[in-house]
Amino acid sequence: VFEKDFAVLDGDGDLQTAIADMSINSKIPFPSFEVLQHAKILILDANPKFESLLTAATVARDMGVEVMLEPTSIPKISHLAIKDYVSKDTNGVLLSCLTYATPNVGELLAWADALI
């Protein structure tokens, strides 16, 4: 899975930049209805395609399951926010499904900026 990942670290061992093969996301199965029936919360990150996140979040919300989103990065949350609000079909549905979100300050500012 990780043979296509690449990272550049500085002299202190801190990550400076990275490239990752994210094709693994297409192999993650959607949680079954049986699993969701017994779940208290569905935790998502922003790596999967917008449509997959939207489906998972709306199904979970409709089943009374809380939904948490980890934005993952500034570019990913900006992309999700724009997709969620630009489309007449979604018009903020993903955001309305969220019970919790865990952005850092940069992600929060980018998220807000994308919505303005």
First to last CA, the chain: 38
Q: Nearest Cα to 41, choosing from 21, 61, 25?
A: 61
pLDDT digits (tens, 9 = 90+) for 64-76: 999 999 999 999 9
Q: Is residue 37 part of a domain?
A: yes
Q: Is residue 8 part of a domain?
A: no
Residue 2 scores a pLDDT above 70 = no
Q: Which residues pair with 19 in a beta bridge?
A: 6
pLDDT digits (tens, 9 = 90+) for 7-43: 788 888 887 887 776 676 667 777 788 888 899 999 9
Q: Is residue 107 part of a domain?
A: yes
Angle 80-84-95 from CA coordinates, rounded to 5°: 90
User: Can you give the pTM of this predicted structure?
Assistant: 0.77
Task: State the Cα–Cα distance between residues 48 and 55, nearest whole angstrom.
Answer: 11
Q: Which residue has the higher pLDDT, 116 or 2?
A: 116
Tokens of 5: 């990942």
Task: State the Cα–Cα distance between residues 42 and 99, nearest whole angstrom.
Answer: 10
Residue 88 lies in domain: 25-115
Instruction: Give the count of domains, the chain.
Output: 1
Q: Is residue 2 part of a domain?
A: no
Task: State the Cα–Cα distance between residues 79 and 94, nearest whole angstrom.
Answer: 12
Q: Is residue 6 part of a domain?
A: no
Q: φ and ψ at 104, to 5 degrees?
A: -85, 180
Q: Is residue 16 part of a domain?
A: no
If residue 62 lies in a helix (H) or strand (E), which one and from where to where?
A: helix 50-62
Q: Is residue 4 part of a domain?
A: no
pLDDT digits (tens, 9 = 90+) for 89-110: 778 899 999 999 999 999 999 9
